[in-house]
Amino acid sequence: MAISFTDLHTEVGLKFLDEFLSGKTYISGDQIQITKDDIRVYAAVTGKPGAGFQNASRWYETVSSALAVRFPGKAAGVKIGGQVAAPVPSAAETEQEEPAAATNEEDDDDLDLFGDETEDEKKAAADREASKASTKKKESGKSSVLLDVKPWDDETDMVNLEKAVRSVEMEGLLWGASKLVPVGYGIKKLQIMMTIVDDLVSVDSLIEEHLTVEPCNEFIQSCDIVAFNKI
């Protein structure tokens, strides 16, 4: 079964690679020396697999050490003949190819460690980074927060106070429903819901750096967190 390089930056792809390498030192199963297949897959993996992928992690360190010995200081950014590495061939395809016992000289001819990146390679690298950033955002947790916003006195215009609160905009912040709640002596406070992306919005910073400073502090005396629940 061929391994798709496009999957090796995902957990699914790494899991498949980890299972594939069970009981193997190298991709080909050769216990003696590194092959081109190892170099191709090594070039496609974005970094050392985590502890959850023990076989792949062990293989990655083995290949790194082998490349460091054969090509000191050149292992990073491995490319095959200046081209994007192709998928690892299946067992049937391998049988039709020449034996893997090629000479070191032949391997060295095909291994381009300093070739300039092609436009396709640059685009592929940019797409991988964009995919990782998108995945991180999708995985970020969210929270629902109920906030008490208190005016200075009973003469504070509560309509303008709410407008001041909702005027604060930032990535990962969504204002929700609100209501006025009597406090006493004719004073009312604003209770307002908001949904935040935990990695992007700090409620403490929102209060200290936006809601209780100019221009919002013209209407807002203080803010308190009434409820904070993970979604």
Specify which residues 145 forms β-bridges with. Answer: 194, 228
**Average pLDDT over the chain, rounded to whole?**
76
**pLDDT tops 50 at residue 20:** yes
**pLDDT tops 90 at residue 128:** no
Give residue 193's pLDDT band: very low, low, confident or very high (50, 70, 90). very high
Residue bearing the bigger pLDDT, 193 or 77: 193
What is residue 40's predicted lDDT score, i.e. its pLDDT? 78
What is residue 86's predicted lDDT score, i.e. its pLDDT? 38
What is residue 114's predicted lDDT score, i.e. its pLDDT? 44
Query: Each residue of 43-95: pLDDT tens digit?
Result: 777 788 888 888 888 878 888 887 777 666 554 445 444 444 334 444 444 44
Give residue 105's pLDDT band: very low, low, confident or very high (50, 70, 90). very low
Give residue 134's pLDDT band: very low, low, confident or very high (50, 70, 90). low
What is residue 172's predicted lDDT score, i.e. its pLDDT? 94
Q: What is the mean pLDDT of residues 87-108?
A: 45
Among the listed ranges 14-23, 51-60, 87-96, 111-120, which one has the minimum average pLDDT value? 87-96
Structure-token pair, residue 226: 């009434």
What is residue 3's predicted lDDT score, i.e. its pLDDT? 46
**pLDDT tops 80 at residue 218:** yes
Which residues have CB under 8 Å from 161's CB, separation 6+?
Answer: 149, 151, 190, 219, 220
- With contact defined as beta carbons under 8 Å apart, do 113 and 79 qualify? yes
Domain boundaries, the chain: 5-136, 142-230
Please name the fold of domain 142-230: Alpha-Beta Plaits (3.30.70)
Give the number of other CB atoms < 10 A from CB of residue 94: 14
- Residue 215 preceded by cis peptide, ω within 30: yes
DSSP the chain: -PBPGGGTTSHHHHHHHHHHTTT-SSTT--SS---HHHHHHHHHS-S---TT-HHHHHHHHHHHHHHHHHSTT--TT-EETTBPPPPBPPHHHHHHSPPS---HHHHHHHEESSPPPPHHHHHHHHHHHHHHHHHHHHH--EEEEEEEEEESSTTS-HHHHHHHHHT---TTEEEEEEEEEEEETTEEEEEEEEEEETTT--HHHHIIIIITSTTGGGTEEEEEEEEEEE-
What is residue 73's predicted lDDT score, i.e. its pLDDT? 53
Query: Each residue of 152-192: pLDDT tens digit?
Result: 999 999 999 999 999 999 999 999 999 999 998 889 999 99
